[in-house]
Chains A and B, each alone.
Chain A
Amino acid sequence: MREQDAYKDLSDLFRVEDNTLAAEPFTRQVMGRVRQQKRMRRVVVGGLGLIGAGIAAMQLPQLFAEWAGLEKPLADALATAPAELSTAAVSQINAAATGNPMWIAIAAGAALCVFAVSAFERA
């Protein structure tokens, strides 16, 4: 005998009671909240992504300015001291890479997007 058979009469009483609950209004309410959550998630993730992209775009002029500044010291280095070319270029590129706010902006944008996705993504 299954364990449930011992109280089948009571289970039937409860089932009758549960079957009287109207399914459609409740289902509509739940699905309404599901869609609302979905919309909210889209707005927040999209918004944070846009903010990240905006921050990155704001850094572009500075990036181009630093690239322009890189050419002159390189040209000088080529003209005056060919032997020092490699070391000068490497140090210039390193300085640009570490000091360039573009990379900071990209990292910030990516971090924002990852945060937004991890916060709102379904588990």
Chain B
Amino acid sequence: MRSDPDLAQAAARGNEAAFAELVRRHQGKVRGMARRLAGSDAPGDDIAQVTFLTAWQKISTYAGGTFSSWICSICWREFLQWRRRQKMEIEFDETAEIIPFDRSADQNEMRMDLTRALETLSEAQRVCVVLCVATGLTHQEAADVTGWPLGTVKSHVLRGVALLRTRLENANVA
């Protein structure tokens, strides 16, 4: 099986099949990350799509290292842009109601618990938990992606994980 840097190199030369393989490999992680950050499936998938389109355009700038970390940093930037647009729309339309998260597709109990538990965290904790726990980035990679200090990321992960565990335990007891 070809490694991610090999595939990225081939994609940089215009090989679409190589890029499709990269999408196949990382789509779960990126979609999961985008969905959890956005708090909803449809916008999350849109962010993930734009992430991969941007990755295709910038694939030649990928300079080795963990491909996951590289693609997650793009996903993070796309999420920030999406959130900025959302905020602008809400600010612009004063009568607009804040749309609740789309729960229609959530059939899985475990998923509901995880999603609900994540929502109870503060935004900074949620971001750090999503990046480090759900997406599997190291604390240093998460600090690089977000631009936050390493100590801040570590403490958010620590507190977030503790809270997440408590919420999940409570959900299981109930």
Contact = CB atoms under 8 A, between A and B. Distances in A.
Interface of A: 3-4, 6-7, 10-11, 13-21, 23-24, 26-27, 29-31, 33-35, 37, 122-123
Given A26-B48, A122-B60, A17 B114 contact: yes
Given A10-B165, A21-B32, A27 B58 contact: no
Interface of B: 16, 19-20, 23-24, 27-29, 31-32, 45, 48-49, 52-53, 56-61, 108, 110-111, 114, 132-136, 138-139, 157, 161, 164-165
Q: Give the secondary structure class of B's interface.
A: helix
A37 B29 CA distance: 24
A74 B161 CA distance: 89
Contact of B24 (A14, A27, A33): A27
B133 A35 contact: no
B10 to A, nearest CB: 14
Contacts of A14: 32, 114, 133-135
7 contacts: A11-B136, A14-B133, A23-B24, A26-B48, A27-B20, A30-B20, A122-B59
Given A3-B139, A35-B16, A13 B110 contact: yes
Contacts of A123: 57-58, 60-61
